[in-house]
């Protein structure tokens, strides 16, 4: 029992990241049923789809679960209305100012967590009254901070800046890295990549296979002139890399990206033309597993790694 398990009413301080095209009700409820905190990722859902996922998740688990809401989302107000109407208890917000919705959601009794990429943003979260922060490092998949601060440098800097419950994200896919995050001062971890490849993930099977086959150097933070995003190497990645080497402008990149590429890749399984968002830790993810096994293994790995650590004698 620690500050994070107490805050959410869960057994283990492991949060499954709310990811586009991967984390619907199946994954979120599986994680919550296994003792972690599952999050439905609203970022790739129209409001009617989102409503369906929330309702199915409530039926699939009696345990606490939450939703992730990117604040730049075009149909944001509808999503927030569904959250309130369906009595969702936990909301993770990202990609925007924590001032935007925190007090509104908290008035309704909702636990609010905001995702940050630096200590300055964590301090803004504190001011906005959030209940906890996720600090996400450069190695994380998907959209990412402009400062490129890695989890190793980020977590201690956020830890010394705010006294909020702190969830580390980026590069964490095993119990050993969970232990490392705790050593750095985190109270919990958010895991994306390993759960994107989980059996219950709604990602396309071909994308899951690519994740478990990825090795070091197979992801890269790209599109920095637009919104930085970490992508898995494929034909589209190679095109972006070539364009960036040739000094593509933000407009060039927007045109190259077009519409619906993440869906095409991550959900529909076009492994050449699709945009594949994933973290560096894909190099350590070896198999497609049920979410419950992932959590069980992580807890065992954490405890095993802890047993190996020794005090250093003066």
In the complex with its own copies, which residue's Cβ is closer, 104 or 300? 300
* CB neighbour list of residue 115: distance below 8 Å, 6 or more residues apart: 92, 93, 94, 95, 133, 134, 136, 169
# of chain residues touching its own copies (CB under 8 A): 56
In the complex with its own copies, which residue's Cβ is closer, 74 or 309? 309
In the complex with its own copies, which residue's Cβ is closer, 224 or 263? 224
Report the alpha-carbon angle 109-40-80, nearest 5: 45
* CB neighbour list of residue 291: distance below 8 Å, 6 or more residues apart: 16, 27, 30, 31, 34, 36, 38, 195, 198, 199, 200
Which span sits near its own copies by CB under 8 A: 43-51, 55-63, 112-120, 203-211?
112-120
User: Is residue 217 close enough to count as binding its own copies by CB under 8 A?
Assistant: yes
The phi and psi torsions of 26 (rounded to 5 degrees) equal: -65, -50
The phi and psi torsions of 134 (rounded to 5 degrees) equal: -100, 125
Among 119, 133, 191, 222, binds its own copies (CB under 8 A): 119
Which span sits near its own copies by CB under 8 A: 47-55, 217-225, 250-258, 268-276?
217-225
- Calpha distance 285→245 (Å, rounded): 30
Identify any residues that bridge with 67 across adjacent strands, giving them in sequence order.
40, 91
Evaluate the CA torsion angle 288, 6, 53, 125 in order and state its sign.
negative
User: Is residue 275 close enough to count as binding its own copies by CB under 8 A?
Assistant: no
User: Is residue 226 close enough to count as binding its own copies by CB under 8 A?
Assistant: no
Q: What binding mask, one character per residue, do residues 124-153 give for its own copies by CB under 8 A, x or -?
A: -------------xxx------xxxxxxxx
Binding site for its own copies (CB under 8 A): 2, 12-13, 118-120, 137-139, 146-154, 156-157, 160, 170-172, 174, 176-177, 179-185, 215-217, 220-221, 246-247, 279-281, 283-284, 299, 302-303, 305-306, 309-312, 314
């Amino acid at each position: 029992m620690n500050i994070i398990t107490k805050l959410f009413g869960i057994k283990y301080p492991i949060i499954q990241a709310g990811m586009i095209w991967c984390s619907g009700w199946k994954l979120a409820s599986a994680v919550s049923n296994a003792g972690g905190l599952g999050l439905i990722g609203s970022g790739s859902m129209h409001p009617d789809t989102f409503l369906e996922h929330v309702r199915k998740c409530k039926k699939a688990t009696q345990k606490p679960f939450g939703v992730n809401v990117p604040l730049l989302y075009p149909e944001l107000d509808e999503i927030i209305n569904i959250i309130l109407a369906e009595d969702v208890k936990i909301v993770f917000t990202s990609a925007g100012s924590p001032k935007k919705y925190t007090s509104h959601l908290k008035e309704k009794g909702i636990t609010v967590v905001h995702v940050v990429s630096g200590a300055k943003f964590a301090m803004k979260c504190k001011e906005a009254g959030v209940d906890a922060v996720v600090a996400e490092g450069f190695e994380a998949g998907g959209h990412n901070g402009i400062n490129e601060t890695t989890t190793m440098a980020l977590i201690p800097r956020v830890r010394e800046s705010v006294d909020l419950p702190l969830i580390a994200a980026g590069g964490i896919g095993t119990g050993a890295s969970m232990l490392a995050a705790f050593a750095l001062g985190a109270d919990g971890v958010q895991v994306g990549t390993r759960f994107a490849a989980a059996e219950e993930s709604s990602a396309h099977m071909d994308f899951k296979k690519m994740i478990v086959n990825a090795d070091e150097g197979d992801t890269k933070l790209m599109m920095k002139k637009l919104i930085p995003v970490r992508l898995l190497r494929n034909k589209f990645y190679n095109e972006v890399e070539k364009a960036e080497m040739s000094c593509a402008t933000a407009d060039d990149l927007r045109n190259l990206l077009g519409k619906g590429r993440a869906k095409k890749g991550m959900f529909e399984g076009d492994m050449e033309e699709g945009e594949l968002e994933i973290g560096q830790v894909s190099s350590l993810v070896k198999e497609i597993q049920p979410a419950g096994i992932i959590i069980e293994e992580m807890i065992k790995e954490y405890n095993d790694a802890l047993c190996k650590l020794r005090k250093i004698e003066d």
